[in-house]
Amino acid sequence: MNQYKLDPDKAIKLKDVDPDDTGDIKQKADIRDKLEKDLARIRALQEALYAEHKRSLLIVLQAMDTGGKDGTIEHVCSGLNPQGVVVTPFKVPSAEEMAHDYLWRVHKVTPGKGMIGVFNRSHYEDVLVVRVHDLAPKEVWSKRYEQINHFERLLTDNGTVILKFFLHISKAEQKERLLDRLNTPDKRWKFALGDLKERALWDQYQEAYEDALNKCTTAAAPWYVVPANKKWYRNYVVARIVRQTLEEMDPQYPQPAEDLSHVVIED
Ligand code: ADP
């Protein structure tokens, strides 16, 4: 899965990454068992991470509209113990949030020890939507890449492992998904006319994403560009990387503080 991990020394162009890529896997049926095993293993590792209570995992999800953030969360988090995972969506900042620096609302919800945190959108919105819509002047947002790298470094130095996923879909696939939302009664609630205005800014968003990905991929907090036109492949890739990362973290159940061998539980 390292093929999807960005290299801090090599800038990428999104148009060189094929959103239809499914690696060497031909069809969904070929990964069903593997995905199930990965999810079961993630669950087991989550238990140990929670019990260990020393480190945390932060998963950042970013994508163009309809890119599949919600679906990824639904699938990859489906087997997790809800007590050990917190999903945080980032919406248009509130008045209180706007009265603070842009990382204020983010730092408050980073995962505590033993927890897995999932960000549905994130602090990257402050160099994406803010840049594309001119919500702040360039002098302001252009400094944020470095600030974000420092912020993420602070987190990783203090025991949080960070995984950042950009779910990469094509403009044609977005059209299909928007049409599907329009035409399916129980998906229509997800359709907003504003999505069409955002779609018209596709190229500007791709450029803003390219900069965020290239400037903020670090050894400690890498970005993964996940081909996401095929939902099953996207879920498989994200689950694999989460599993691999938790395996590398190798969380350990704590030893009891005292010798328990003499303990007898009376009837
Ligand atoms: P989603 O599309 O993630 O399912 P919404 O439809 O509620 O959820 O969209 C959230 C909106 O909030 C997006 O349009 C996103 O660009 C916007 N947003 C998030 N963070 C910021 C920010 N820092 N500044 C301005 N807008 C933001």
Write the pLDDT tens digit of every residue in 18-41: 999 999 999 999 999 999 999 999
In the chain, what are the domain boundaries? 2-249
CA 185–ligand 1 middle distance (angstroms): 23
Start-to-end C-alpha separation, the chain: 53
pTM across the whole model:
0.97
Question: Ligand 1 centre and the CA of 129: distance in Å?
Answer: 8
Contact 63, 228 (CB under 8 A): yes
- Nearest by Cα to 123 from 95, 96, 151, 100: 151
Q: What's the gap in Å between 48 CA and the centre of ligand 1?
A: 34
Pick the closest to residue 113 from 185, 163, 176, 161 (CA basis).
161
pLDDT digits (tens, 9 = 90+) for 143-173: 999 999 999 999 999 999 999 999 999 999 9
Give the distance (Å) from ligand 1 centre to CA of residue 91: 4
Instruction: Judge if the beta carbon of residue 91 lies within 6 A of ligand 1.
Output: yes
Q: Whose CA is nearest to atom 13 of ligand 1?
A: 91
Indicate the CATH number of 2-249 among 1.10.10.10, 3.40.50.300, 3.40.50.1220, 1.10.3720.10: 3.40.50.300
| Ranges 2-11, 16-25, 177-186, 257-266: which has the least confidence | 257-266
CB atoms within 10 A of CB 158: 11
- Within 13 Å of residue 96, how many CA atoms lie on the same side as its CB? 2
The residue whose CA is least distant from atom 8 of ligand 1 is: 91
